[in-house]
Amino acid sequence: MAEKGFNAYKMAQAQFDDVADKLDLDESTRELLRKPMREYHFTIPVKMDDGSAKVFQGYRVQHNDARGPCKGGIRFHPQETADTVRALAMWMTWKCAVADIPLGGGKGGVICDPHDLSDREQERLCRGWIRQISKNIGPVEDVPAPDVMTSAQHMLWMMDEYEHIEGGKYPGAITGKPVGHGGSLGRTEATGYGVIYTVREALKELEIDITKTTAAVQGFGNVAQHAVELFTEYGGKVVLVSCWDQDDSKAYSYYRKDGIDLEELRGITDRYGTVDKEKAKELGYERLPGDDWLKQDVDILIPAALENAITGDNADEIKDTVKLIAAGANGPITPEADDILEEKDMMVIPDFLCNAGGVICSYFEQVQNNMNYYWPKEEVIGKLDDKMTSAFYKVMELAKRKDIPLKDAAYMISIDKVVEACKLRGWI
């Protein structure tokens, strides 16, 4: 998940401290917001298919709920750590605020590798996670959702277990559910589409025609695939995607100069976003090292996998042809890399603005659950576009007015909103 020595939580705190200085926040406010309000660590015993029992480590972190119930995904990953979950919960707080939705930041995880678990074992793990945390989550307290290597099916198992424990129907307790079971149309596309809505508007600001642009994408999971889908619909060309290869335990990039064929690659990709390397070769894709995604002569880079993708060690390898970096993943750019990219005069759309589409659509799902009335996909996507575009221009306007990077403007807007909520509640 991250290179040795990298700590996502320390990075998230450093980002906060930098903006706290610029906002001149007092000590008590800093102390409240640079740490989670609550966190839960627990073990999950699971009966395996062979009759043995295995114990998994689970987490849920609630960073801040001043603006509404906590909201955030659940990751299944073999290298999950408590500090990664803390960082992601903090970033979720800022993401909800910059998107102007009435939710706070939370995140969850389990240390496991779903590749090594049968569907039944994964179901037992999902239900076990809920049993351990059910009293501390729910539609008015903390609402989980899918994240890395979890899906709509995982969420439905979790919701079913939660409803069994609580003795009622609570579709708003979990989002990212299957359509027809409380899920929202458009949720699958939301994060990836949201990334491209911000790319579209940023290119307008840069006076660049999207139909003449090329992009390289790190990742080929749900976010990356739907980002590629909308970007190509707008007329752009994606020449490379990269993904983790489970068999080799390393990442590869798949390159084609005249552009990748999304449906072709989807057809040889498993549910975890791993491309069949032999079939890709037969289809004419050049297989490159995983890190080559950021060394391409393209206009746009989209890191849409995991954190710590662009660092102080590799940011100089980004070509001068790159005009825009859209952070589709959470925490993909370290503070050291930010400084280098600033010197290169590249526009960077910060992660918690760029990838806010997922949580926005999760919020829409909750609204529809509460009404017990569901919108058509076109309405969901239209509302998502409006929210993302509005958030982008509020950040852009502040960045222009203060002559600061988009990242600083986005942080200032989001942190200021959370601080105001905490003060109005009398917490600080």
- Decide if pLDDT at 1 tops 60: no
Q: What is the pLDDT of residue 271?
A: 77
Going across the sheet that includes 38-47, the strands are 38-47, 53-64, 104-111, 70-77, 142-146
Q: Determine the pLDDT at residue 174.
A: 97
Catalytic residues: 107
pLDDT in tens, 315-372: 999 999 999 999 999 899 999 999 999 999 999 999 999 999 999 999 999 999 999 9
Amino acid making up residue 47: K
Mean pLDDT of 47-56: 98
Compute the residue count for the chain: 428
pLDDT > 70? residue 4: no
pLDDT at 273 over 80: no
Can you state the percent helix, strand and coil of the chain, rounding each to 5?
Answer: 50, 20, 30
pLDDT of 383 strictly over 60: yes
Out of 3.40.50.150, 3.40.50.80, 3.40.50.720, 3.40.50.1110, the CATH code matching 188-349 is: 3.40.50.720
Per-residue model confidence (pLDDT) at position 131: 98
The span from the CA of 313 to the CA of 299, in Å, is: 21
Q: Reply yes or no on whether the pLDDT at 272 is more than 90.
A: no
How far is the C-alpha of 368 from the C-alpha of 360, rounded, in Å? 13
Q: Which of the 8 DSSP states describes residue 376?
A: -
Sequence ranges of the domains in the chain: 38-173, 188-349
Dist CA 401 CA 106 (whole Å)? 32
CB burial of residue 188 (10 Å; 0-12, 13-18, 19+): buried
CA dihedral for 315, 331, 361, 394, sign (positive or negative): negative
Q: Which CATH architecture has domain 38-173?
A: 3-Layer(aba) Sandwich (3.40)
Query: For position 192, what pLDDT does the model report?
Result: 97
Tokens of 218: 């790190």
Residue 249 has pLDDT above 90, yes or no: no
Mean of the per-residue pLDDT values of the chain: 95
Mind listing the pLDDT tens digit for each residue in 386-420? 999 999 999 999 999 999 999 999 999 999 999 99
pLDDT digits (tens, 9 = 90+) for 283-323: 999 999 999 999 999 999 999 988 889 999 999 999 999 99
Residue 72 and residue 123 in contact, taking contact as beta carbons nearer than 8 Å? no
d(CA 285, CA 260): 8
What average pLDDT does the segment 147-173 reach?
96
**Among residues of the chain, what percentage have pLDDT more than 90?**
92
Q: What is the pLDDT of residues 166-221, one digit of tens each?
A: 999 999 999 999 999 999 999 999 999 999 999 999 999 999 999 999 999 999 98
- From edge to edge, which strands make up the β-sheet containing 250-255? 286-289, 250-255, 237-245, 214-218, 300-303, 324-326, 347-349
Q: What is the pLDDT of residue 148?
A: 85
Give 25's contacts (C-beta < 8 A, 6+ positions apart). Answer: 33, 415, 419
Q: Would you give the DSSP letter of residue 213?
A: -
d(CA 256, CA 233): 18
Sign of CA dihedral 95, 98, 100, 102: positive
**b/e map 147-170, b = 16+ CB within 10 Å:** bbbbbbbbbbbbbbbbbeeeeeeb
Residue 176's pLDDT is 95
pLDDT digits (tens, 9 = 90+) for 67-88: 999 999 999 999 999 999 999 9
CA angle 134, 35, 222 (to 5 degrees): 60
Q: Reduce the DSSP state of residue 245 to 3 states and report it.
A: strand
